Copies of this chain bind each other. A is one copy, B any other.
Amino acid sequence: MSEGPNIVRIAALIGDNARAEALSALMSGRALTATELADAASVTRQTMSSHLQKLLEAGLLKVSQQGRHRYFRLAGADVAYLIESMMGVAFHTTTQHPRTGPRDPALRKARICYDHLAGEMGVYVYQQMLEYGLLLQKDGALSITDQGREWFRQLGIDADEVAQSRRSFCRACLDWSERKDHLAGALGAALLSRILELGWARRVEDSRAIEFSAQGEASLRGLMRLRCTE
């Protein structure tokens, strides 16, 4: 007796090593080519080609062509959201973490979740914003307050312009490592983009980790604290 959406299709697709690797790699928010994804998953190009075809057909990925290069990316935030959620379950049901390489603490500290900041830093920022009224829940969705609008402007982000985006402006996303929410949506994406632009943090090569410089982190925390004490 079966009712509701058929989850086995989606799960079976993710439940293959090569495909899982590809999806995880794409959580960096970057668009990657078939060859890059094959390398990431340590399979041949032909193997990855057929896997990508399946993910495309299933609607988990989308592709754009530039000459002979085909750039694959996650189909949308809900797919990212699902992967993040599954990472959380995977993380919290593992009795030990065999793959605690040097990058694991880095991932937990700050990383890209699709297009926005996650990890301790991501959760910290979101918490502060909610705590001090920069963001507010309204109409089943997060919204930005006037105070928040001002804060973002000070950071160099025009929140109203960001709101023109056709995607979800502002929403919470459950963090796999912190088990708390961080800021997602267009606003979350704009925030990360700006942080990188300001040089407060940088992307780690071939990783989802985001590395804050000491100065960059201090700047962000300072800006946070300034707003929050007024």
Binding site for B on A (CB under 8 A): 1-17, 20-21, 23-25, 27, 39-40, 58-60, 75, 78-79, 81-83, 85-94, 97, 99, 101, 103-104, 107, 111, 123, 126-127, 130-131, 135-142, 172, 174, 176, 179-181, 206-209
Contact = CB atoms under 8 A, between A and B. Distances in A.
A122 to B, nearest CB: 11
A89 B79 contact: yes
Contacts of A27: 4
Given A88-B78, A131-B139, A140-B127, A208 B3 contact: yes
A119 B170 CA distance: 21
Contact of A4 (B16, B60, B208): B208
Contact of A10 (B13, B86, B140): B86
A63 to B, nearest CB: 15
A89 B80 CA distance: 10
Contacts of A13: 11, 15
B93 A59 contact: yes
Which 10 pairs, one residue from A and one from B, show the smallest C-beta to C-beta distance? A59-B93, A12-B15, A11-B15, A11-B14, A5-B90, A15-B15, A8-B20, A127-B140, A5-B91, A5-B87
Nearest to A87: B5
B90 A10 contact: yes
Given A1-B40, A207-B3, A9 B90 contact: yes
Given A11-B20, A93-B60, A6 B140 contact: no
Given A10-B93, A24-B7, A107-B4, A85 B75 contact: no
A111 B12 CA distance: 25
A61 B206 CA distance: 35
Given A2-B21, A4-B27, 9 more contacts: A1-B39, A4-B176, A4-B208, A10-B15, A12-B15, A14-B15, A78-B89, A78-B179, A140-B180
